[in-house]
C-alpha cells in the first residue's frame, strides 16, 4: 500500500514561503510527476514528503497515518537523488544492501534481496564494482536498486535523469516506467522536463511559485489547462497567446491556440503574416510567423512543407481547439 | 630543454650540502681541534649507531611522532565535526582554532613553559592548587609527555583544518541518502563520514610525520633534551653532537642516519596508509 495525502502542507524558510498550502491525493500504485519551472518548490515538496525537511504547517498522510513527526527512515519511502548519492567507497552490493543492513536484516536475506534487485536491473555482473567504475546509466540503476530493495510504500525520484545524455534519458525513462508498472509501487517523480512528465505520469502536478496550479492526467492538462500558466507550460512548442481585439471577439481576455492547431494556408481565410524562421525536421515543420498586430505565432505542421523565411502565409485556428482565458488568467469553459 | 637551468640549480642546491655532509661524515673533524681533521672511514657511523644515546633518542623520536599523530587525529576529527556545524560566529571560532598554527614554535614553547606548565607560577599549577592537588613539575616529572602536549597543540589546527575542508566536501545528498536508508548519527559517521575522511587522514599523517621527525625548537627551549636523555630526539641529538660536543664528523654521520630513518619511516607509511591516496 502506498496512498499519500497532503493536507494544506506549507513550508517556509524564514520569511520566504516556498510551499503555500498544497493539497493532494495520490492513490496507491500511481505514477505522479511534479513538474514546474525551477524554484517552483517541486523538490521542496518532495523533500517534505520524504521527511528530509520538516513541514511548517499541514499534514502528510501515508496510508491514512500522519507522518509529519516520523523520521525519514520510518516513513517507508525510498528516494533516488539527482546526484544518485551513491556511497563511493562501497561496492554496488554494499550500496544496495546498506538500507537492509541498517534495518538489521539477517545476512542471508540481505544477499537474496540484493541479488534479486540486481537481477531486475541487469546489475548482476557489476555487483562487486565501485560506483566510480560504472557508467552514468549504471550508476542510475544502482540508485534505483537501492530504492527498490527496501520494498518501500512509494518511490521518490528527484530529477533522476537530468545528468544523463539525451539518448540514455529516453531509455531510462522507459525503464523506470516499466519497472514502476511491474512493481506496482506508488511513485512520485520530480522533473522540470515536461516531456518526461507527459510520457511517464499517470497524473501530473503542475507547480508554480509554491502553489499547485493543476492536478490531472497528461491529456487533461493538454486539452483542458486550468489557467494560462499550465497552458503555457505544457506542450512543446509553447501555446500561442493572443490578447486584445482578436481575443475580445471570442469573449475572452486572452485566447490560446497550440502550434499544432493552427492551419497553415497560402490563400483563403486566416491571420496573415510573414515567416521569420522555418525549421524543417522532416517529420515536422515549425514556422515562426510575424502576424503583425497579433504578435509572433508558432505553427506546427506534421510532415514537410515547402515554405521558407519571407514567405507570406495565412494562419487559422482550429475553432474546437481554442482555449479562452479571463483577465485573471483562469480558463473559461463553454 | 628550457627547464635545464632550473633543474640544474635545484640539483646543485640539493647535492652540495649532501655531498659536504657525506664528506664530513667520513672525517674525524672536531671544531676544537680543526687542524687535525683526518679521514677515518665509517668510524663516525659506528660511534653514532653504537652510542646508547642513539637508541634512546630514536625511541623518543618514534614515541613523539606516534603520540602527536594519534592525538591530533583523534582530537581533530571531533573538532572538525564540531566546526562543521552551523553556529553563530563560526568564522571567528574557526580563526581562533587555527591560530596556534601561526605561532612560532619557539614562542609557543616559551608560553607553555612559563605561563602554563611552570610548577610554581603556571596556570596548571594554579588549577591543581585550587583542587588541593600537588602541582606537577611537567618538565621533570613527565618531560616527554609535556613535549608531546606542546607539539600536539601546535599541530592540532593543521589536522582540524584539513579534516574540516574534507568534511565540507562531503556530498549533502549522501548523508540524506543514508538518513533515508535508516542510518543514525553514529552509523552515518562510521559508514559515510569516516570512509570519506580516510584520504585526508592519510594526508595529515604523511605531512605531519615529515615535520614531527625534525621537532627541535620546542625541545631546545623547554628541556634542552633532558632530564638525561628523556626528551632527546634524533634532531636534538645531532644538534648536541655538532654544537655542544663540536663533533662535526659525528653530527654529519648522525644527519645521514636521520635521512635513512626518515626514508624508512616514509617507506612504511606509504605502504600502510598510502594506498588510500591511489585512485
Tell me which residues of chain A have a pLDDT lower than 70: 334
- Check pLDDT > 80 for residue B275: no
Of B174, B182, B279, the CB nearest to A99: B182
Chain B residue numbers with beta carbons less than 8 Å from the beta carbon of A86 are 174, 177
Any B CB within 8 A of A281 CB: no
Q: What angle do CA A283, A284, A286 make, to 5 degrees?
A: 160
> What's residue A190's pLDDT?
92
Q: Which of A79, A86, A88 sits opposite B180 (nearest CB)?
A: A79
Q: What local confidence, expressed as pLDDT, does residue A73 receive? A: 85
pLDDT digits (tens, 9 = 90+) for B29-52: 777 777 777 888 787 788 888 888
CB-based contact B181 A83, cutoff 8 Å = no
pLDDT exceeds 70 at position B278: no
> Model pTM?
0.77
Q: What pLDDT does B118 receive?
A: 82
Phi, psi angles (nearest 5°) of residue B5: -60, -40
- For residue range A100-127, list pLDDT tens digits in order: 888 888 989 898 989 888 888 888 888 8
Q: Which residues of A are less than 8 Å from B178 in CB distance?
A: 87, 98
Query: What are the pLDDT digits (tens) for B139-167?
Result: 888 888 989 999 999 999 999 989 988 88
Q: Report pLDDT digits (tens) over B186-213.
A: 888 888 888 888 888 888 888 888 888 8
Mutate to test the interface with B, among A48, A73, A147 (most CBs of B within 10 A): A73
Mean pLDDT of B156-183: 88
A72 CB within 8 Å of a chain B CB? yes
- Candidate from A102, A132, A146 with C-beta closest to B183: A102
Q: Give the distance, in angstroms, between the CA of residue B173 and the centroid of all CA atoms in the same chain.
A: 36
**Cβ contact B176–A73 (<8 Å):** no
Say what percent of chain B tops pLDDT 90.
10
Give pLDDT, residue A319.
85
End-to-end, the C-alpha distance of chain A in Å comes to 40
- Chain A residues in contact with B177 by the CB 8 A cut-off are 79, 81, 85-87, 146
Mean pLDDT value across chain A: 88
pLDDT by residue (tens digit) across B46-78? 888 888 888 888 888 989 999 999 999 999 999
Work out the average pLDDT over B250-276: 81
Nearest Cα residue in chain A from B196: A89
Q: According to the model, what pLDDT value does residue B277 have?
A: 63
The answer to whether the Cα torsion of A160, A165, A171, A174 is positive or negative is: positive
C-beta atoms of B177 and A87 within 8 A: yes
Mean pLDDT of chain B: 85
How confident is the model at residue B276, as a pLDDT?
A: 64
Amino acid at each position: 500500500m502506498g496512498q499519500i495525502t497532503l493536507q494544506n502542507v506549507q513550508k517556509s524558510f524564514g520569511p520566504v514561503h516556498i510551499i503555500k498550502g498544497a493539497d493532494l491525493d495520490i492513490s496507491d500504485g500511481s505514477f505522479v510527476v511534479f513538474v514546474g519551472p525551477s524554484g517552483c518548490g517541486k523538490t521542496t515538496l518532495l523533500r517534505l514528503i520524504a521527511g528530509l525537511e520538516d513541514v511548517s504547517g499541514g499534514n502528510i498522510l501515508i496510508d491514512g497515518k500522519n507522518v509529519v513527526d516520523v523520521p525519514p527512515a520510518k516513513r517507508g519511502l525510498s528516494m533516488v537523488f539527482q546526484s544518485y548519492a551513491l556511497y563511493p567507497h562501497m561496492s554496488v552490493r554494499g550500496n544496495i544492501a546498506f538500507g537492509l543492513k541498517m534495518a538489521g536484516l539477517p545476512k542471508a536475506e540481505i544477499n537474496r534481496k540484493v541479488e534479486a534487485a540486481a537481477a531486475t536491473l541487469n546489475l548482476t555482473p557489476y555487483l562487486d564494482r565501485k560506483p566510480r567504475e560504472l557508467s552514468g546509466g549504471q550508476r542510475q540503476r544502482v540508485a534505483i536498486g537501492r530504492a527498490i530493495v527496501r520494498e518501500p510504500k512509494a518511490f521518490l525520484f528527484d530529477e533522476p535523469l537530468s545528468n544523463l545524455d539525451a539518448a540514455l534519458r529516453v531509455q531510462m525513462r522507459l525503464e523506470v516506467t516499466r519497472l514502476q508498472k511491474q512493481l506496482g509501487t506508488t511513485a512520485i517523480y520530480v522533473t522540470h522536463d515536461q516531456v518526461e512528465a507527459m510520457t511517464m505520469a499517470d497524473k501530473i502536478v503542475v507547480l508554480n511559485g509554491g502553489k499547485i496550479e493543476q492536478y490531472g492526467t497528461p491529456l487533461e492538462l493538454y486539452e483542458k489547462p486550468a489557467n494560462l500558466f499550465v497552458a503555457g507550460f505544457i506542450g512543446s512548442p509553447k501555446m500561442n497567446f493572443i490578447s486584445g481585439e482578436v481575443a475580445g471577439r471570442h469573449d475572452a481576455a486572452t485566447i490560446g491556440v497550440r502550434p499544432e492547431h493552427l492551419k497553415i494556408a497560402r490563400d483563403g481565410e486566416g491571420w496573415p503574416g510573414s515567416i521569420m524562421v522555418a525549421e524543417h525536421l522532416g517529420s515536422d515543420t515549425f514556422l515562426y510567423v510575424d502576424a503583425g498586430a497579433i504578435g509572433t505565432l508558432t505553427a506546427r505542421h506534421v510532415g514537410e512543407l515547402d515554405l521558407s523565411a519571407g514567405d507570406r502565409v495565412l494562419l487559422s485556428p482550429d475553432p474546437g481547439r481554442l482555449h479562452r482565458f479571463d483577465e485573471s488568467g483562469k480558463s473559461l469553459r463553454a | 630543454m628550457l627547464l635545464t637551468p632550473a633543474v640544474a640549480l635545484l640539483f646543485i642546491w640539493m647535492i652540495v650540502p649532501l655531498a659536504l655532509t657525506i664528506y664530513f661524515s667520513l672525517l674525524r673533524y672536531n671544531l676544537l681541534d680543526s687542524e687535525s681533521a683526518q679521514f677515518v672511514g665509517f668510524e663516525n657511523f659506528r660511534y653514532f649507531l653504537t652510542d646508547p644515546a642513539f637508541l634512546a633518542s630514536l625511541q623518543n623520536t618514534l614515541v613523539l611522532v606516534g603520540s602527536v599523530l594519534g592525538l591530533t587525529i583523534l582530537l581533530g576529527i571531533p573538532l572538525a565535526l564540531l566546526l562543521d556545524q552551523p553556529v553563530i560566529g563560526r568564522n571567528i571560532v574557526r580563526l581562533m582554532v587555527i591560530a596556534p598554527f601561526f605561532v612560532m614554535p619557539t614562542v609557543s614553547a616559551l608560553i607553555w613553559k612559563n605561563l602554563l606548565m611552570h610548577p610554581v607560577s603556571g596556570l596548571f599549577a594554579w588549577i591543581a592548587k585550587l583542587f588541593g592537588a600537588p602541582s606537577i613539575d611537567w618538565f621533570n616529572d613527565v618531560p616527554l609527555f609535556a613535549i608531546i602536549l606542546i607539539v600536539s597543540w601546535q599541530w592540532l589546527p593543521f589536522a582540524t583544518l584539513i579534516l574540516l575542508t574534507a568534511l565540507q566536501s562531503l556530498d549533502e545528498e549522501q548523508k540524506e541518502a543514508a538518513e533515508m536508508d535508516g542510518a543514525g548519527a553514529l552509523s552515518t559517521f562510521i559508514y559515510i563520514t569516516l570512509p570519506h575522511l580516510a584520504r585526508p587522514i592519510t594526508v595529515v599523517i604523511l605531512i605531519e610525520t615529515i615535520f614531527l621527525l625534525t621537532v627541535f625548537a620546542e625541545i631546545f627551549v623547554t628541556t634542552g633534551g633532558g632530564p638525561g636523555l628523556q626528551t632527546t630526539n634524533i634532531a636534538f641529538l645531532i644538534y648536541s653532537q655538532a654544537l655542544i660536543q663540536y663533533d662535526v664528523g659525528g653530527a654529519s654521520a648522525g644527519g645521514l642516519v636521520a635521512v635513512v630513518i626518515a626514508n624508512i619511516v616514509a617507506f612504511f607509511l606509504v605502504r600502510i596508509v598510502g594506498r588510500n591516496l591511489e585512485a
